[in-house]
Amino acid sequence: MFLRRKQSQNHHVDESAEKEEKVKELRDALGTLTGRSLKYCTDGCLRRYLEARNWNVDKSKKMLEETLKWRATYKPEETRWSEVAHEGETGKVSKANFHDRLGRPVLIMRPGMQNTNSPEGNIRHLVYLIENGVLNLPEGQEQMSWLVDFTGFTLNTNISVKTARDIINILQNHYPERLAVVFLYNPPRIFQAFYKAVRYFLDPKTAQKVKFVYPKNKDSVELMKTFFDIDNLPNEFGGKATASLKYDHEEFSRMMALDDVKTAKFWGSDDKPSLKTNGYFGPEIAPEPIPLASSTC
C-alpha cells in the first residue's frame, strides 16, 4: 500500500511539472506581450486556457490570441457602471452577499426581472459583472458560481436564443474555467424548450456545469447542500437564511462605483507591479474614496 501511495504521489508531481512546462511553452509561443495583454496573461490565465483546450499548447495559443483580439476591440475593462446601470435597475444580475462552500463568489440572475430588450446592453451588463466578479475573487480562487432564480419568468421576459448564444460564446471563448457551476433554480416547463435550443451551443464540459434544481426534489436539495451551507443560503434558494435578497439599486451602484476605481487603477497607464493575483487582479488593491453623485443611481 505504501508503494502504491508513493507511486501515486510521484505521478502527481510529474503531472504538475509537465503542466508547468506547458505554461512555459505557451508563454514562449505567445511571444512578446506588452501593456494590457501582458497584464492579462498571468500564469493563472495561461493555465485556464490550457485546461480549456486539454493542455494542447497550439490550441490554447489560438484561443488566447482570439481573446486578446476581442479584449482589444470590446474593451471590457473600460466599461463603467454608469454605462450599464440602467440594465441593472431591477437586479436581473447582481452579486450575492454569500459564497459557496469553497469560498467562491456567487452571481445571482433573475431572468424574470428582465427590463430591456437591448441584446448589446444585456451582454455588456453581464460582461461588466463577470469582470467585476474576477476583480473580487478571493485569494486562491479562480472561479465563481451562478444561481438563477426563475421567479416571475415568462417567455416575454426571456432573452432571445441569439443573445443567449452570444453570451455563451463570450463565456466559453473568453472566460474559460471561470464558471464553476450554474444552478437553474425551479425553472418552469416553458424554459425547457428554450434550454434545448441553447444547449446546442454549450460545449460538453460547460453543459456538465449546468444543474437543474427543484425545491421539492430530494436529489436537488441534497445537491444544493453539497455546494452551499444551508444555514447561510437564502430561503429563496431553499436555505435557512432569512435575510432578504431584495435588490437595492442605489447601494449596489455605490459598490460598483468603488470597484470601478479598483478596475481603473489596475488597467490604468501606470505599470507598477501588481500584487499577488488570483486571475489578473490584485486583491490587495484598495479603492480610493470618491464622491458619489446621486445621478449614479
What residue ranges do the domains of the chain occupy? 12-74, 79-266
Q: Which helix (H) or strand (E) holds 93?
A: strand 93-99
What is the reported pTM?
A: 0.85
Interval 169-215: pLDDT, tens: 999 999 999 999 999 999 999 998 899 999 999 999 999 999 999 99
CB-based contact 142:278 (threshold 8 Å): yes
28 with 63: CB under 8 angstroms?
Answer: no
Between the CA of residue 122 and those of 44, 73, 158, 254, 266, what are the distances in Å? 28, 18, 11, 20, 25
The pLDDT of residue 279 is above 70:
no
**Per-residue pLDDT at 67 exceeds 60:** yes
Q: Does the domain made of 12-74 have the CATH classification 2.40.160?
A: no
| Residue (of 228, 182, 224) closest to 205 by Cα position | 182
- The highest-level CATH class for domain 79-266 is alpha beta
Residue range 157-162: average pLDDT?
90
> Is residue 37 classed as helix, strand or coil in its secondary structure?
helix
- Percent of the chain predicted with pLDDT > 90: 75
Question: Among the listed ranges 2-11, 13-22, 62-71, 121-130, which one has the minimum average pLDDT value?
Answer: 2-11
* 191, amino acid identity: F
SS3 88: helix
Q: What are phi and psi of 160, to 5 degrees?
A: -75, 160
Could you identify the residue written with the cell 501511495?
5
